[in-house]
Amino acid sequence: MKVLGRLLRILISESAHLIWVLRCDRTINGVQHSEQSITKRWTTMINKRLQTDRITAKVIVRKENYKNLVTSTWSDVITTNTNHNKNWAIALEVLVGIIPPRPSTNEAPR
C-alpha cells in the first residue's frame, strides 16, 4: 500500500502543479490550451518525474531499498523497450515511459 500511496502522491502533486502552471499561462498570457497539448504536457511531466526517480535511485541514494521502492512504484504504469528488465530503475537503457491516453473511439474529434 505504501507504493500505491507514493504513486498517488506523485500524480496528484505533479498534476496540481501543471494545473497551476496552465491557469497562470491562461490568466497572464491569455493562452488557451487544447486537450491534446495538456495531455502531452502532463505525459512529459510524469516521464520527467520517472527519470528523476531513476537518477535518484542510481546516483544519489544508491540503496537497495530505495531502488526497490522506485521499481515497485512505477513498474505497473510504464513500458520498457525490453520485457521489464529486473533493474530497469537503474539500468542505462531508455524507457518508453508513461503511455499517453488514447482518444476514445466513441468521442467526436475536436
| Residue 97: pLDDT band with limits 50, 70, 90 | low
82 alpha carbon, distance to own chain's centre: 19
pLDDT tens, residue by residue, 35-87: 999 999 999 999 899 888 888 888 877 788 888 888 888 888 876 655 555 66
Task: Provide the 10 A C-beta neighbour count for residue 92.
Answer: 7
What's the rounded mean pLDDT across residues 29-33?
A: 92
Cell of 54: 531513476
Residue 22 burial (C-beta neighbours within 10 Å; 0-12, 13-18, 19+): middle
3-state secondary structure (DSSP) of residue 98: strand
What's the rounded mean pLDDT across residues 24-41?
A: 93
pLDDT of residue 3: 77
pLDDT of residue 110: 46
